[in-house]
Chains A and B, each alone.
Chain A
Amino acid sequence: SYVLTQPPSVSVAPGKTARITCGGNNIGSKSVHWYQQKPGQAPVLVIYYDSDRPSGIPERFSGSNSGNTATLTISRVEAGDEADYYCQVWDSSSDLHVVFGGGTKLTVL
């Protein structure tokens, strides 16, 4: 089945840019979605279809996807962005239709 690989942790200073990667075989050919999960809360969609933002999500959140890597970029990071971030794809080539990455803990220094 398809595997998505995320770094366990990323650290960034306030005001700087955070980049969280999601690796997968030819992931550029798939649609990637990103979720933010704060402690004790349900995941919230922050990016869909690689780079689209749902209403209410700040423009500081952006996404890209090419080759074997998708990237979630958070500009001008704030303390409130500290959370776990998960990527997700739909794998039509197997019976495991929905695949999540292992998650990345974003720490704001």
Chain B
Amino acid sequence: QLQLQESGPGLVKPSETLSLTCTVSGGSISSSSYYWGWIRQPPGKGLEWIGSIYYSGSTYYNPSLKSRVTISVDTSKNQFSLKLSSVTAADTAVYYCARREAAAGSWFDPWGQGTLVTVSS
């Protein structure tokens, strides 16, 4: 059973960089069948896709966040990571990692449990 687990600081100061890691267990992040993604959800609001990465390192990002986002993969640790720079209070959200089928037009499944990141001084 594939599982994903987010980890990282729960509190980040404004203007600093948010850093999260997603650890994949029960399967290989190097599978050619999947992409790996980050999605966030501000408190009381809907879902927003942040970006996705393939095991080869190929990435694509939400254009609205692209200038501040970096997603990377470490196949040796079966992990992928998110960095979001110059954060503000608007970046306060629950951050989820999830697996996406590599097929065109596909879905996210499963998801990690999510981790709340608060941006505050």
Partner-B contacts on A (CB < 8 A): 1, 30-31, 33, 35, 41-45, 48-49, 54, 86, 88-90, 92, 94-103
Closest CB of chain B to A27's CB: distance in Å?
Answer: 12
CB of A92 within 8 A of CB of B114, answer no
CB of A42 within 8 A of CB of B112, answer yes
CB of A42 within 8 A of CB of B114, answer yes
- Knowing A42-B96, A89-B105, A90-B104 are in contact, say whether A98-B49 is a contact too (CB < 8 A): yes
How many A-B residue contacts, CB cutoff 8 Å? 68
CB of B109 within 8 A of CB of A88, answer no
> Which residue on chain B has the smallest CB distance to residue A89?
B105
Residues of chain A within 8 A of B92, CB atoms compared: none
CB of B63 within 8 A of CB of A88, answer no
Main SS class of interface, A: loop
Residues of chain B within 8 A of A31, CB atoms compared: 105-106
Closest CB of chain A to B8's CB: distance in Å?
Answer: 16
B74 at the interface (CB under 8 A from A): no
CB of B46 within 8 A of CB of A96, answer no
Closest CB of chain B to A96's CB: distance in Å?
Answer: 6
